[in-house]
Structure 1
Amino acid sequence: MMDSYLGKPDLIIGKVVDFNAAADQLYPFDFTAANTELSDEILSDTRLFSDWISHKLSSANCRYGIGGYNEHRTIYARSAHFDTHEEPRRLHLGVDIWGPALTPVYNFYEATVHSFKFNDHFGDYGATIILKYEIGDLVFHALYGHLSLASLDGLEEGQLIPSGSQFAAFGIAEENGHWPPHLHFQLILDLQGLAGDYPGVCRFSKRAGYLKNCPDPELILKHTFK
């Protein structure tokens, strides 16, 4: 359903981050078990993990790293936040855009603030904003996680965020759940009564239901990185 609404030729979808396709490049990160470079030592130390990310980007001459939708990730073992009694959460439901702290984040289409929260736990989102979008009869949400704390200043629920406006920025580790700086970008059809938070990682056994409720963010991000 989202494809038909977002694929209309007269619909203008804006950028999420600054990107110049003629000059900038994207580095495709892989955080599955296939990535044997990421040792437990690196993952357990946010500074070492951040240095590893930065080195990968600079060595490849890439402005941003990207990836993660529907990816079964081993990196979540670094935090008890993703553990459950039944089964650990490892299946990623959004796309991560990796880059420097304070990287500007833009609104791709007119929206209102649904909710926001500082999810301050190791491995969590840190500063988080959820925007509500209405395109014709289509209503959906986008969760922006791992933001700077300053991104939450002055926000109010129901506040209009114009299309094309900068409304947030990537946070430092102390503000973003203790991760290397990046943006977690996730589309959500039904927030299921939640506010300021929604699972960005699920149990693999719940994969089908969560992926149905959280469509591929490529539907939006393709307009940023074209």
Structure 2
Amino acid sequence: MHATEKLAAALAQYDGVVAKVVDFDAVADKLYSLDLTAANTELDPDMVADTAAFSQYIDRKLAENNCRYAIGGYMEHRTIYARSAHFDTEDEPRRLHLGIDIWGDAGTAIYAPLDGTVHSFQDNDNFGDYGPTIILEHNVAGLKLYSLYGHLSRTSLSGLAEGQTISVGQQVATLGDADENGHWPPHLHFQLMLNIGDAKGDYPGVGKYSEKGKLLANIPNPGLLLQMGDIIKA
């Protein structure tokens, strides 16, 4: 059974509340589906390598389509990771995106979708990396679940402690800008995991395409928790 199926089954038995991750009005807010695969010929390597130009491209798409957020990415095979050596390995470069990205303004509030505790946090300060990152731990009808929030502001890490109780709907972070979020256009990388081993404050958000089957067994589709319409429920 894939991780998405396990989480869906647990949520069907869950008697708690699932809250929004970002402010979103299903009636008033539109979502732009952002394709970051090779099929998007508007994006060339030079633009993606230039954080300012990449940010301008996303801002333009949001404005042209009258959208508050751009979204997408779960199990998307992305060529854009060639912009950073962080994703290169000797045998096979990592290009398979494991979470869902929500692209919006720096400073956008991020909320906990479930009751939980702070598992870990750290600033992954490398070009192309997560920047400030928070991992929460949850219990969904007996299923242990971890949620990861990457590309945050540095102030999001202030005052946190491992084991700290987090309530559903509580604001846990804000989006960082390119100077602090790993040098990306402002966005949230939201990812779920069933098992993270001994990882602390970091967990791969991009994997090898050849290992997709193994990754699907551990990493559920975050669209199950994001209350943002069918566009992200793969």
TM (norm. structure 1) is 0.97
CA distance, structure 2, for counterparts of residue 192 and residue 213 of structure 1: 11
Aligned-pair identity in percent equals 56
CA spacing shift, 1:204–1:159, aligned 2, 3 Å: same
Matched residue type, 1:106: Y
Q: Secondary structure at the match of 2:225?
A: helix
Equivalent residue number for residue 57 of structure 2: 52
RMSD: 1.2
Equivalent residue number for residue 133 of structure 1: 138
Shift of the alpha carbon at 1:209?
Answer: 0.7
CA distance, structure 2, for counterparts of residue 119 and residue 69 of structure 1: 21
Shift of the alpha carbon at 1:2?
Answer: 1.2
1:147 equivalent in alignment to 2:152: yes
For residues 84-110 of structure 1, the C-alpha deviation after alignment (integer angstroms, 9 at most, x for no partner) is 000000000000000000100001111
For residues 2-59 of structure 1, the C-alpha deviation after alignment (integer angstroms, 9 at most, x for no partner) is 1111124744211000001111000001011100111122111100100100000011
CA spacing shift, 1:224–1:28, aligned 2, 3 Å: closer
Select which of 182, 190, 202 maps to 1:185: 190
Equivalent residue number for residue 105 of structure 1: 110
Select which of 6, 9, 19 maps to 1:4: 9
CA distance, structure 2, for counterparts of residue 185 and residue 10 of structure 1: 23
CA spacing shift, 1:136–1:9, aligned 2, 3 Å: closer
1:165 equivalent in alignment to 2:170: yes
Equivalent residue number for residue 123 of structure 1: 128
Shift of the alpha carbon at 1:193?
Answer: 1.0
1:29 equivalent in alignment to 2:66: no
CA distance, structure 1, for counterparts of residue 75 and residue 171 of structure 2: 27
Moved over 3 A (4+): 8-11
Matched residue type, 2:26: A
Q: Which consecutive residues of structure 2, in runs of 5 or more, have no partner in the other structure?
A: 1-5
Count of residues paired in the alignment: 225
For residues 58-79 of structure 1, the C-alpha deviation after alignment (integer angstroms, 9 at most, x for no partner) is 1100000000001000110000
Q: Secondary structure at the match of 2:169?
A: coil
TM (norm. structure 2) is 0.94
Equivalent residue number for residue 16 of structure 1: 21
Q: Which consecutive residues of structure 1, in runs of 5 or more, have no partner in the other structure?
A: none
